[in-house]
Amino acid sequence: MNACFEFRFPNDVLERYAMGKVSHLEYGPLEEHLILCAACRKRLMHMEEFISVIRVALMELDSHPEARISAQSAFAL
Amino acid sequence: MLATRGIFASGAGEGANDPQTIDSVAQSLADIVDCQTADTVSNQVNWQDLVERIHKGDESGMEELYRLFGRGIRYYLCRQLGHQELDDKVHDTFVIVVQAIRRGELREPDRLMGFVRTVVRRQVAAYIDEAVHSRRDELNLDLGVRVADRRRDPEQTAAFRQKVDFMLEVLRSLSERDREILTRFYLDEQSQETICREMDLSETQFRLLKSRAKARFGEVGKRRLQKNPLISVSLRTSSR
C-alpha cells in the first residue's frame, strides 16, 4: 500500500487521457492501471461525462451569446 | 495530491459538515483505497505462476486471468467500440490472449498486463478498421464516422439534456473571462500552458477554476435533484 493517500494517477492525467492528450510515456502505465482499477475507471467515466456535458453547454452558449447575460445574476462563484 | 486537493478545495468551509459532503468525501477516500488496492494486487500476483498455469491449460489460470482483467477489458472495449456485440469482443480478446500464451509468445510473464493491453488495443484497431471498410463498402459513408455506437435512448437523452442545463446555469454564473478559459481548454483544446501564458494565469489559478466549475456543477445537480426526485430516478437509471 502506498504511504500517501492519493490516486496513482491524478485527475489532471485522467482528464488529459479522456481528451486524448496524454503523452506516450503516460499512456501505457495508465491503461494498464485502468484495466485493473475499477475506482479509476469510475473516475474516468465521470470525467468523460463532465467533458461531453461542458462541451455541449459551451457550444450552446457560443451559438447564443445573449444567453450569457440573461442569467448572469443567478449566483456568483 | 491533486485528487485529494480537489475534494477538499471545492468544499472547504461552507457545508463541510453537510451529510452529503461527508458522504462524498468518504466515497472519494474509499475510491482511493480501491485504487491503491488495485496496484497492490498487481504487485502481489505471481505472474510467472499464472502464465504457467494458462500455458498448461489449467482452468484456474484462465479463471484468474478473467477475474483480474475481465472488467477492465470490457470497459476498454466498450469505451472505444460501444456496447454492440460486446460479450463476443471480450471473449475474442481472451481467446487471443490465452492462445498466445499457450503458443509461448509471452516470453516475460511479468509483462502480462502490458501484453493484455497490447492485444486489446490491436483488437480495437482491427474492429475499427473492419467497421470503416464495411461501412465504406456498403454505405459509402465518410471515413470520419464514429465507430462506437454511442446513441442514447430517450431517457438517457433527457438525463443528458438536464445535465447540460445544470452546466449552462454554472457557466452563466461565471465571468466572461472564466468562460473563455474553459472554452479554450474544453472546446478549442488549447493546452494549459498556452492558456496560462496568453491569459496571464498561474497553473494553480487554472486548476482552481476547473475544479470550482466541476464542484459547482455537482452542487447544482444535487440541488435540482433534491427539488425533483423524479429526475434523480431518471439520472440513476440512465447511468447504469
Rounded mean pLDDT, B178-186:
93
Q: Which member of B40, B76, B182 has the closest CB to residue A54?
A: B182
Q: How many other CB atoms are there within 10 angstroms of residue B32's CB atom?
A: 21
Q: Is B182 on the interface with A (CB under 8 A)?
A: yes
Cβ of A50 within 8 Å of Cβ of B187? The answer is: no
pTM higher than 0.90 for the full model? Answer: no
Q: Which of A1, A6, A54 sits opposite B40 (nearest CB)?
A: A1
**Exposure string over B64-101, b if 16+ CB within 10 A, otherwise e:** bbeebbebbbbbbbebbbbeeeeeebbebbbeebbebb
- In this complex, is the C-beta atom of B4 within 8 Å of any C-beta atom belonging to chain A? yes
**What is the ipTM score, two decimals?**
0.76
DSSP string, B11-49: HSSTTTT-HHHHHHHHHHHHHHHHHHHHHHHHHHS-HHH
Residue among B10, B36, B73, B238 with most chain A CBs within 10 A, to mutate? B36
Q: What is the pLDDT of residue B81?
A: 87
Of B224, B222, B209, the C-alpha closest to B19 is: B222
% residues pLDDT > 90 (chain A): 22
User: Which residue in A4, A12, A74 is closest to B173 by CB distance?
Assistant: A74
Residue B165 is placed in which grid cell? Answer: 442545463
Report yes or no: B120 and A28 within 8 Å, Cβ to Cβ.
Answer: no
A39–B32: do the CB atoms touch at under 8 Å?
A: yes
Range with lowest mean pLDDT among A49-58, B67-76, B116-125, B219-228: B219-228
pLDDT at site B11: 34
Q: Is the minimum CB–CB distance between B183 and chain A shorter than 8 Å?
A: yes
Residues 6+ positions from A64 with CB-CB distance below 8 Å: none
Q: What are the chain B neighbours of A54 within 8 Å (beta carbons)?
A: 167, 171, 182, 186, 213, 217
* More confident site: B29 or B91: B91
pLDDT tier at A4, thresholds 50, 70, 90: low
**Average pLDDT score over residue span B125-140:** 77
HSE-up of residue B195 (Cα within 13 Å, Cβ side): 24
- B92: pLDDT confidence band, cut at 50, 70 and 90? very high
C-alpha cell at B61: 489460470
Three-state DSSP class for A62? helix
Q: What is the mean pLDDT of chain B?
A: 78
Which amino acid is it at A4? Answer: C
- Chains A–B, number of C-beta pairs less than 8 Å apart: 144
Long-range contacts of B41-46 (CB under 8 A, 24+ apart): B41/A36, B41/B68, B42/A36, B42/B113
Residue B191 pLDDT > 80 = yes
Nearest to B51 by CA among B138, B144, B142, B115: B115
| Cell reading at B240 | 447504469
Assess whether pLDDT exceeds 50 at residue B101: yes
User: Helix H segments across B82-202?
Assistant: 86-102, 112-139, 154-172, 176-182, 192-198
Bridge partners for B149 per DSSP: B82
Q: A31: which chain B residues are within 8 Å (Cβ-Cβ)?
A: 76, 117, 121
Q: Shortest Cα distance from A39 to chain B (angstroms)?
A: 5
Over residues A30-64, the pLDDT tens digits come to: 988 888 888 889 889 988 989 999 999 999 988 87
Tally Cβ neighbours within 10 Å of residue B53. 19
Predicted pLDDT of residue B239: 40
